[in-house]
Amino acid sequence: MDTTSWRQRVRAEEELLERLRLQTSHAAKRRAAALADGVAELGSVYAVAKDLGRSWQAIDKAIKKHGPGSGPATTE
């Protein structure tokens, strides 16, 4: 039987969620940088999207939102 109080469990889960948010933010920036490298290599967002089987809009949005020059990562 779990003897940890509900308050402690909530606190622990909130800390885990914050760590996951940070990891997700960092992963999104790394992914956007890789997509931008793909654009530099292939010549266009469309070419990268076609190569990955994704829409060009999704690729473009990811680069603009998380790519180089998008500003610092936030946790909010």
* Contact status, residue 64 vs residue 70, Cβ threshold 8 Å: yes
30 in any annotated domain: yes
52 in any annotated domain: yes
pLDDT on residue 71? 63
Residues 31-76: tens digit of each pLDDT: 999 999 999 999 999 999 999 999 999 999 999 999 877 765 554 4
pLDDT on residue 68? 75
What span, in angstroms and rounded, lies between the C-alpha atoms of 8 and 74? Answer: 26
13 in any annotated domain: yes
The count of domains in the chain is: 1
47 in any annotated domain: yes
pLDDT on residue 46? 98
54 in any annotated domain: yes
22 in any annotated domain: yes
* Contact status, residue 25 vs residue 75, Cβ threshold 8 Å: yes
Domain that holds residue 12: 6-66
Amino acid residing at 18: E
48 in any annotated domain: yes
Amino acid residing at 4: T
State the DSSP string of 11-76: HHHHHHHHHHHHHHHHHHHHHHHHHHHHHHHHSSHHHHHHHHTS-HHHHHHHHHHHSTTS------
